């Protein structure tokens, strides 16, 4: 059989008018899911669902589950439960060891206490961020410190290391569902101890989300394969320009987005501005010599081509032919 013909996206799709730019979020959620999700709720609605209905998807030996309005709300709930004071400190660790920490995380912590990147006498808690679906290594000295450990698995639901213990090492684990599934809200806290703090999510919103999550968890294996496939497609395309991924994908990692190596210069800031103008949610991996773009399960080959060619346009690279 001969090779199939490849039909690339026209230049006028890559550089269309601003009023008709597509919109690609880091989250798999987009506007079509407002109607899709509502249809799922109407079809599968079941009043009176409890947060514990999701327990079967978490083999982490934790006894308590708490649905939250946002993943960030879960941080506040845990820190308030630990009764941290303003002068107390949280030590933040992450996968890469880079100085980059999302401002949304640090801002949430600062509502209650302070944070540092190392342990000292004021440290009352360890906050471990498993970045972008890639597990962080938690040193034995941390595990043996008797300090409470919070694992931030916002981007890492299902991702594992070689020991298969991510989400199980801490006293608390926090998830953010819009980073994993096509839903617009919802976080989750898994805890070894019963929390004395509560979420602000309403009962109707809670039930609505639980119905959706029960449906989307059944699709998780399919989503994992799609995320890994899309990530590897980006790796292949960028390799044509000698650009490497910032994190190496292994069989147990479930990437939440594609992070590639890019020195932190004015070019990275330009790329951020131009891609977001074109409808591609993305940003510099500040302090980590990288840049990240969407690579979730809902991206098609054409979507990846649109993102890739826009990256090439800003970085002044000649795109390789998609599909070859």
- pLDDT tens for 261-306 read 999 999 999 999 999 999 999 999 998 899 999 999 999 999 999 9
Domain hosting 248: range is 220-315
Whether residue 70 is found in the same domain as residue 154: yes
Whether residue 98 is found in the same domain as residue 236: no
Average the pLDDT over 230-246 and give the result. 96
* Domain finish residue from 188, 218, 248: 218
Whether residue 163 is found in the same domain as residue 276: no
Whether residue 103 is found in the same domain as residue 154: yes
Residue 49 domain-assigned (yes or no): yes
Average the pLDDT over 6-12 and give the result. 89
pLDDT of residue 7 exceeding 90: no
Q: What percent of the chain has pLDDT over 90?
A: 84
Whether residue 224 is found in the same domain as residue 300: yes
Average the pLDDT over 159-184 and give the result. 92
What is the distance between the alpha carbons of residues 204 and 270, in angstroms, rounded to a whole number? 43
Whether residue 211 is found in the same domain as residue 305: no
Whether residue 50 is found in the same domain as residue 129: yes
Whether residue 296 is found in the same domain as residue 273: yes
Whether residue 208 is found in the same domain as residue 288: no
Q: What is the mean pLDDT of the chain?
A: 94
What is the distance between the alpha carbons of residues 39 and 33, in angstroms, rounded to a whole number? 9
Whether residue 55 is found in the same domain as residue 120: yes
* Number of folded domains that form the chain: 2
Whether residue 290 is found in the same domain as residue 202: no
pLDDT of residue 70 exceeding 50: yes
For the entire predicted model, the pTM comes to 0.93
Average the pLDDT over 127-145 and give the result. 92
Q: Is 97 exposed, middle or buried (0-12, 13-18, 19+ CB in 10 A)?
A: exposed
Residue corresponding to tokens 């008018």: 17
Whether residue 209 is found in the same domain as residue 103: yes
Residue 199 domain-assigned (yes or no): yes
57 neighbors 288 (Cβ within 8 angstroms): no
């Amino acid at each position: 059989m001969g090779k199939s013909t490849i039909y690339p996206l026209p230049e006028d799709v890559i550089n269309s008018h601003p009023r008709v730019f597509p919109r690609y979020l880091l989250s798999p959620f987009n506007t079509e899911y407002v109607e899709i999700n509502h249809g799922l709720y109407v079809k599968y609605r079941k009043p009176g669902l409890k947060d514990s209905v999701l327990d079967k998807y978490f083999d982490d030996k934790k006894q308590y589950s708490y649905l939250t309005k946002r993943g960030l709300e879960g941080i506040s709930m845990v820190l308030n439960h630990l009764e941290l004071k303003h002068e107390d400190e949280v030590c933040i660790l992450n996968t890469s060891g880079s100085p980059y920490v999302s401002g949304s995380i640090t801002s949430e912590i600062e509502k209650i206490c302070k944070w540092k990147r190392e342990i000292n006498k004021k440290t009352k808690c360890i906050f471990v961020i498993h970045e972008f679906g890639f597990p962080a290594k938690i040193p034995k000295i941390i595990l043996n410190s008797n300090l409470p450990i919070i694992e931030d698995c916002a981007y890492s639901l299902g991702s594992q290391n070689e020991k298969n213990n991510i989400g199980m090492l801490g006293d608390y684990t926090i998830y953010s569902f819009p980073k994993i599934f096509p839903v617009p809200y919802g976080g989750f806290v898994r805890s070894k101890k019963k929390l004395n703090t509560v979420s602000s999510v309403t009962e109707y919103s809670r039930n609505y989300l639980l119905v959706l999550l029960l449906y989307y968890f059944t699709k998780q294996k399919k989503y994992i394969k799609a995320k890994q496939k899309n990530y590897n497609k980006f790796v292949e395309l960028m390799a044509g320009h000698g650009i490497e991924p910032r994190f190496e994908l292994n069989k147990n990692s479930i990437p939440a987005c594609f992070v590639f190596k890019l020195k932190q210069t004015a070019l990275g800031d330009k790329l951020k501005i131009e891609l977001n103008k074109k409808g591609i949610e993305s940003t510099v991996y500040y302090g980590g010599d990288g840049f990240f773009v969407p690579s979730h399960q809902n991206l098609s080959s054409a979507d990846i081509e649109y993102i890739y060619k826009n990256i090439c346009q800003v970085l002044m690279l000649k795109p390789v032919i998609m599909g070859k």
